[in-house]
Amino acid sequence: MAIRINKYLSEAGYCSRRGADRLVEEGKVTINGEISEMGTKVNEGDQVEVEGQIIQKSTKQKNIYLAFNKPIGIVCTTDRRVEPDNIIDFINYPTRIFPIGRLDKPSEGLILLTNDGDIVNKILRARNNHEKEYVVSLNHPINSDFIQRMSNGVEILGVKTKNCLVHQLGPKKFKIILTQGLNRQIRRMCESLGYRVQSLKRVRIMNIELDVPTGKYRELTKEELLELNKSIKNSLKTFD
């Protein structure tokens, strides 16, 4: 049965569907020697290549799910030309994997990596309201007014952020739980209120807690995967 090129690359464990769409837009994907277009379908026996590399979809591929504690300075990209700071070279995992979402270079903490493109699409859909928890330190003391304003939403990038849970942990430190992922959202929210982020660490994604040392990773447990799949069971996906 023919499937769209982005789904083919995702199921082959090469990248997420969003990543595949970007590769197609950049003209880096060919099917039987012809440059692929968005939405082109792959039939059985077709030869798919990305920048000259043949991509084969194996039905026996083992799905990999890792929880990684990203250090400050590492870039969440699969582009290995970003050296020596890209996440793929840093982890040096023996099988091709890719990060689920992003954590910007100055930030640290939990990020998930996988070769399962389907789960990537479900988790990344902001409207699925999947929680991500962060601990943030600022350059100036905060007060109840700051906590309330952050909780009720802040105007950034031309939109008001969703209501979220914010709890003060110290004079300059707070915890925040987001269900959306705007570009550099927490930093922009703080900046709009006159603060600058000194440190930002993600400590949880949905039911997955950060529990490994900086720069280390572990496989998700069976229990974590069961709970994760249960919570994204009804998540919206991109169309096949």
What amino acid positions are annotated as catalytic residues? 104
**Contact between 129 and 179 (Cβ < 8 Å):** yes
DSSP 3-state of 183: coil
Rg (alpha carbons) of the chain, rounded to whole number? 19
CB atoms within 10 A of CB 86: 17
Cα dihedral 225/226/227/228 (nearest 10):
40
Tell me the two tokens of residue 121.
Answer: 């699409």
Whole-angstrom distance, CA of residue 17 vs CA of residue 196: 34
Distances from the Cα of 138 to the Cα of 42, 148, 186, 195, angstroms? 50, 16, 11, 7
